[in-house]
Structures are given as structure tokens and as C-alpha cells.
Chains A and B, each alone.
Chain A
Amino acid sequence: MPEIIFEFLKLFFTFFRIGLFTFGGGYAMLPLIQDAVLEYGWLSEEAIVNFIAVSESTPGPFAINIATYVGMERGRDLLSLPGGFLGAAVATLGVVLPSFIVILIVAKVYKKFQESKIVMGCMTGLRPTVIGLIAAAVLNIGSTVFFPEGFSLSIASWDFYTMAVSLVIAVIGLILIFKKKIHPIILIVVSATLGIGAGFLGELIK
């Protein structure tokens, strides 16, 4: 029992740490999530990428969605269904709490905060850093897409069919989203359809 309590505490503090060190919106949290979740083996790399699509197609901020999801999965591993809800609650509370506390403090002195040279100085460093970190997260996702079994130098282990299909879908996706500016949900539907088609076609060929 004490070990299980420890595991839930670990979940809470991991997401507390993630919330505390995420700067900027959107996917700024992704590198920290990948780091922590993979380190503890809570989810596979593939599950994280799959979940990005789920989060894009459901309402709410990515940060809350992913915290709830990881908490639910981890909690269910520990204590089945009730554990799932406990884990989801613990992880979500963890990711929200740093924001809540920091904002309550800053709200009292926010004029000073905005003009603070220290804050501005730190932000000069943080803005480009976050971009570098997200770029690394994107590289990670790319490697998950093209090498689902993990990157290896031996070409014999490469699944060329999946790689080719993924490349085509990714390129179509880039064109749709950059040139046609379609909504992410439509992109997900299109790539799911192409994936299903390619999957069954692959069965015929193989």
C-alpha cells in the first residue's frame, strides 16, 4: 500500500513539475511530457502521438487533456478503475496547481511584474529556448512515425511500406494545413481515412 501511495504522489509531483516549467501555450508542454512519461514508462511514444490527435479533436487545453489521460492510464495500472479516476484527478490537480498559485501571487503585483526587468530578461532567454525544445519534440514524433519500433541503423529492420505511407500522408497534411489552412480535425479525419486505406491495401500487397 505505501508503494501505491508513493506512485500517486509521483504522478502528482511529476505533473506539478511539468506545470511549473512550461512556458508558452500550445505544445510547449510536449517536451516535458515526453521526458517524464517515457522516463517512468507510463506510456509508449506511440500512445503520446496518438493522444495528440485525440486532444486536437476534443475540447479543452492540451495540458489538461494529456494530464488527465496519463493520470487515468497510470492510475488504472495501479488500482484499476477507481485508481484511474484518482490518477486523473491527481495528475490534473498537479498540472493546474503551479499556475493557480503563481497567478494568485502575480495578480497582486502584476503592474510591477510586467515592468520587471528580471522577468523580461528571463523571457528573452525562454522564448527561443521553448522553440528549440518543441523542435526536438517534433523530431521525436517524426522518429515515432517513421520508426515505430525505435530507430535502428540496420536497414533490414525498416518497414518501408509504413514509412512510405506515412511520408505521403505527412506531406499531404503539410500541404493541406499550410496552403489550404484546413482545421486540424479535418486533417485528422483525412489522415485516418488514408491510413485505413493504406493499411488494407498493404494487406493485399503483402
Chain B
Amino acid sequence: MKEKLKNALILFVTFLKIGAFTFGGGYAMIPIIEKEICDKHKWLKGEEILDIFAIAESTPGPIAINSATFVGYKVAGFLGAFCATFGVVLPSFVIISLISLVLKEFSEYKVVKYAFMGIRAGVLALVIKALVSMYKKCPKGVFGYILMGVAFVISAFTNVNIIFVIIGCALVGLIYSVIMRKRGKEVCRK
């Protein structure tokens, strides 16, 4: 019990550090989590942490939170999950709360307005880059291209709630994979 409590506390501090010092969100955190959890504290093995990241990508929610909760749970149960998640969230929460207090007033200055005009164009470049990286990682194929196109058109040009698009495409993916598997079996029999 005492061991668990101690681990939970270390988890909190570790993830507090991870939350406070990684720029760029979930993917940027992966190597640091690996270093802290596997190399430094030796709580988990390399393959265990890879499993965790794979699952963090295929469960809903941000990857940073998913991996923090999962690692925390594996190391010290529910308390560990809570401490790790709380730790990773806290720095963002504090920093952004403070920034929001001044951001609006700050934005009234002419210099800041001009700066943000430039920054918005820079952000456009940033999100295009993020989009291209994600596209490169995604498995390609006709089926995928059709879903990409459908999701894009519905989201960009209609008022349909995106959640329906997400649920619908997940179901289509499920049906498609069942059909492909059946076909695969038939091919094997021949």
C-alpha cells in the first residue's frame, strides 16, 4: 500500500514534468514518457509501453491523456491513473488560465493585431504540415480515399454534425473489413 502511494506520487511529479516541458502535444510526449517510465523508473517494459501508445491512438480522446491514464493505471492502479492524468493536465491548465486573463486585453493593441494577422497565416502553414504528416501515416487505398473525400465534403460544405460522420464512417469501416475478411476466406478456399 505504501509502495503504491509512493509510486502514485512519483507518477504525479513525473507527468507534471512531462506536461510542463513538452511542446506540441501527444506525439511529442511519447519519447519522453518512454524515457521516464521505462528507462528511469523501470516501471514498464519497452513493448508494454508500445502497446499503450497503440491503444492510446485507437481509443477516443487526446493521446497525451490516454497514455498518462494508461501508464498510471499499469503502475499504481486507479490512484496512479488519477495522479498521472492530473499531473499531465495541471501545467496546461494553469498556464492557459493565466494567458487567457490577458490575451483579450492584449489583443486590443495595434501591434498585437498586426502580429496575429501574420501569425494566422503562419498557423495555416502549421496545420497544413500537420495534415500532410497525418496523411502520410494513414494506410492508403481506394476505400480510404472515398471516406476521406466524403468526410471532407460533408464537414466542409454541409451542416451535418461531425459526430454522425465519425460514427457513420466507423460503421462503414467495420462493415468493409467484415466483407474483406469473408472475401479473403473465399479466395483461400479456391
Contacts and interface: CB of A to CB of B under 8 A. Distances in A.
Interface of A: 17, 19-27, 29-32, 35, 46, 49-50, 52-65, 68-69, 72-73, 76, 81, 84-85, 88-89, 92, 95-96, 98-100, 102-104, 106-107, 110, 113-114, 117-142, 144-145, 162, 165-167, 169-170, 173-174, 176-178, 184-185, 187-188, 190-196, 198-200
A108 to B, nearest CB: 9
Contacts of B138: 127-128, 131
B174 A35 contact: no
A141 B173 contact: no
Given A52-B123, A125-B170, A25 B25 contact: yes
A59 B91 contact: yes
B58 A123 contact: yes
Nearest to A51: B103
A92 to B, nearest CB: 6
B118 A169 contact: yes
B61 interface: yes
B60 A22 contact: yes
B24 A184 contact: yes
Contact of A26 (B120, B134, B149): B134
B96 interface: yes
B123 A53 contact: yes
A126 B169 contact: yes
Nearest to B115: A192
18 contacts: A29-B62, A49-B124, A53-B119, A58-B92, A65-B96, A73-B104, A88-B96, A96-B65, A99-B60, A104-B78, A114-B51, A125-B171, A131-B135, A133-B152, A134-B127, A141-B123, A144-B120, A185-B23
A138 to B, nearest CB: 5
A177 B122 CA distance: 10
Contact of B121 (A89, A102, A107, A145): A145
Name, among B57, B62, B110, the residue most crowded by chain A CB atoms within 10 Å (CB to CB): B62
B10 interface: no
Contacts of A122: 170-171, 173-174
Contacts of A200: 114
A132 B92 contact: no
B122 A190 contact: yes
Nearest to A167: B121
Contacts of B165: 129, 133
Contacts of A50: 107, 116, 119-120, 123
B118 A99 contact: no
Interface string B153-167: 001100001110110
Contact of A98 (B60, B103, B127): B60
B7 interface: no
B173 A121 contact: yes
A125 B174 contact: yes
A32 B61 CA distance: 12
B61 A98 contact: yes
Given A128-B145, A166-B121, A60 B95 contact: yes
B155 to A, nearest CB: 4
Q: Which of B56, B117, B134, B176 has the most chain A CB atoms inside 10 A of its CB? A: B117
Contacts of B127: 27, 30, 52, 134, 137-138, 141
A63 B88 CA distance: 12
Nearest to B181: A117
B170 A169 contact: no
A76 B103 CA distance: 13
Nearest to B81: A104
Contacts of A81: 101
A169 B119 CA distance: 9
Given A119-B58, A141-B120, A142-B124, 6 more contacts: A21-B162, A26-B134, A61-B88, A69-B96, A123-B58, A127-B144
